[in-house]
Amino acid sequence: MLADLRMERGKAITRYLTDEMIAGCEYDYDEAEMAQYIRSAEEEMAAQPDMDELGYSPEELRQAIADQAKQGWMAEAFCKSRGIAIDEADAAAQADQMQLFMNVGSVSGIFGNMKKIAEISETAPERTEGEAVPAASEDIVFDRVSFAYTPEQDVLHDVSLRIPAGKATAIIGGNGAGKSTLFKLLTRLYEPKSGAIRFGGDNITDFALTGWRDRFAYVFQKDPLIGGTVRENITYGLDREVSEEELIAAAKKANCYDCIMAKPGGFDEDVGLGGSNFSGGQAQCISIARAMLRDADYLLLDEATSNLDVVSEAAVTEAMDHLMEGRTTIMIAHNFAATRNADYIIVMKDGTVEAAGTPEELQETNEYYRMFSKTL
């Protein structure tokens, strides 16, 4: 199956390159050049230390080499046809051919991806069965939780904290403090190495995974939109039909209705690669509209206002104020302004809880929070 996945990926990339690049390329195919690419690819493959561990037959490897060589020839042919020096290919990738060159890796890159796919395919599937999640809102408690992405080093060390229901809790701390890891454990993307996360006294691993995740809405810091239309983005993840009235109401409340209607397609406008047809603030507001329609009891905000200009941040902040109404909110905050509505603050440092309390309490007792409160 893994070999089939690799072959299909190679075919898809080759078709893409052929359609998008060779169609506009005035460069004749040269058998000698192609043969040279294959020889170079074979030499690069021979230098890879883990080839035997992948378990591919010589024929499969040869086909992968030929696929990659063809891609390499196509990339160079494209550059030559456009008068681009080969050593400028990286610069071209940052321009209008960026998506194209993202698909043209080295042979070592392809085999590295193959190895990663093999590792993922051997990962145990998520356990989805379990008990129903209680309907009532409860405090979420981390009880002596430790976690490590690799065996060598813990990221969280014996973390104990409480997230009060019905309140807005801000998690602050420097880079690498463990803030995002708390979110990943909370949404059960990973399991704790030790300790437990409890909801109303129950370990969250006892709950059915889908039921647990349905209790949360998430607004991301980066790449808030996926490929497709505005409508598809706002309704993504819902298992019900959404009326036009609901869609309009959510967009207006999220401060994105006007920018959507300014596009020729309205709600059926394609958002572009990575949401490129909208500004960062507009894309974030569209993702907030998605969270509003999800209508979850618990809201996770992962630095949702970072890297925005002043005008965009104001629009996103107003939209989030509407979104937070009546919900337990947990936010990772990068500056003091993002915590202005927080009832409770958790200060993380080096994978541990340095302090926790109300803003007024921490202003009196915690040096990091006093410094943090002076940031814009």
Residue 342 burial (CB count, 10 A):
21
Q: Is 303 a catalytic residue?
A: yes
Which tokens belong to 249? 């109401």
Residue 354, SS3 per DSSP: strand
Cα Rg for the chain, rounded, in angstroms? 25
Residue with tokens 């202005």: 340
168-172 and 328-332: which strand pairing?
parallel
Residue 344, SS3 per DSSP: strand
- Given 303, 360, 361, 364, which residue is catalytic? 303
Which tokens belong to 298? 């618990």
Assess contact for 21 and 80: CB atoms under 8 A. no
Residue 359, SS3 per DSSP: helix
CA dihedral of residues 21, 22, 25, 28 (deg, nearest 10): 150
What type of residue sits at position 4?
A: D
- Order of strands, sheet of 328-332, starting from the edge strand that comes earlier in the sequence: 216-219, 298-302, 328-332, 168-172, 344-349, 352-357
Question: Any alpha helices (H) in 86-174, and if so which ranges?
Answer: 89-93, 98-102, 107-121
Nearest in space to 20 (alpha carbons), one of 12, 32, 28: 12
Assess contact for 343 and 143: CB atoms under 8 A. no
Rounded Cα distance between 192 and 197, Å, is 8
Residue with tokens 């991806």: 113
Consecutive H or E run containing 13 = helix 2-20
| Residues forming the active site | 303
